[in-house]
């Protein structure tokens, strides 16, 4: 039986990405109502994902899934972290600010983190997962694919930035891919 799963995002790109992972999972994904805005007041990715999933489930009366993600830079004590989306007005502003704050720092270690939460129709959180992808911050952007901080996030194993990877390669190693893949077996049991 197909069950409806409301994705707690207004971003059709995120919906498409989740649909790609959850194809044939028995869940039918749909966007949250546009007028429903949820403030991300948590101080961890997991707290924000739970907050969004729980509120969307309660308001819509359906199962809901939410993710919260961002970039943590070691030499900046984990910044921009949960503020990744609010670090500047545009992707290039955010990249410029990060590169400026990091300056000539030698330690360029960083990780993308993605937390995902699923809530049942009464708002209770029933599943959670987290995915991490380690990399390094370059001194200048490289590549023009992807979005956000992708052009400055270099994965040494692949010798490519996220912005230079094919969507399939990024999907297979990214924080979001890992978090979603970890949830799939348990999601199948929820849907029985
Ligand atoms: P949110 O998860 O939609 O709240 O926003 C996370 C923010 O972190 C995005 O606006 C991006 O700036 C950044 N971010 C998260 N995942 C990625 C990624 O895969 N590539 C580049 N930037 C990302």
Task: Specify the fold of 3-190.
Answer: Maf protein (3.90.950)
pLDDT at 12: 83
- How close is the Cα of 3 to the center of ligand 1, in Å? 28
pLDDT at 23: 82
Domain positions in the chain: 3-190
Beta carbon of 70 within 6 Å of any ligand 1 atom: yes
Q: How far is CA 157 from the centre of its chain?
A: 21
The verdict on pTM exceeding 0.85 is yes
Q: Which residue out of 147, 162, 178, 179 has the highest number of ligand 1 atoms within 8 Å of its CB and is therefore the one to mutate? A: 147
Beta carbon of 45 within 6 Å of any ligand 1 atom: no
pLDDT at 191: 65
- Rounded to an integer, what distance in angstroms lies between the CA atom of residue 58 and that of residue 10? 17
Quick: pLDDT tens for 150-166: 999 999 999 999 999 99
Q: What is the 3-state secondary structure (H, E, C) of 72-115?
A: EEHHHCCCEHHHHHHCCCCHHHHHHHHHHHHCCCCCCEEEEEEE
- 10-residue averages of pLDDT along the chain (192 residues): 86 83 87 90 96 97 96 98 96 97 98 97 97 98 94 98 94 93 88 64
Beta carbon of 87 within 6 Å of any ligand 1 atom: no
């Amino acid at each position: 039986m197909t069950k409806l799963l409301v994705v707690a995002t207004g971003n059709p790109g995120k919906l498409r990405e989740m649909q790609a992972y959850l194809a044939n999972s028995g869940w039918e994904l749909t966007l949250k109502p546009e007028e429903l805005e949820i403030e991300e007041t948590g101080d961890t990715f997991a707290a924000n994902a739970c907050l969004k999933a729980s509120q969307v489930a309660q308001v819509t009366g359906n199962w809901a899934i939410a993710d919260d993600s961002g970039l943590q830079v070691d030499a900046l004590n984990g910044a921009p972290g949960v503020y990744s989306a609010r670090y500047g007005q545009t992707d290039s502003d955010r990249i410029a600010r990060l590169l400026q704050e990091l300056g000539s720092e030698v330690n360029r270690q960083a990780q993308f983190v993605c937390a995902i939460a699923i809530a049942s129709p009464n708002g209770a959180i029933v599943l959670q997962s987290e995915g991490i992808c380690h990399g390094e911050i370059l001194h200048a952007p490289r590549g023009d694919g992807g979005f956000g901080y992708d052009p400055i996030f270099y994965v040494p194993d692949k010798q490519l930035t996220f912005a230079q990877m094919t969507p399939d390669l990024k999907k297979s190693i990214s924080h979001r891919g890992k978090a979603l893949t970890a949830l799939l077996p348990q999601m199948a049991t929820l849907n029985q």
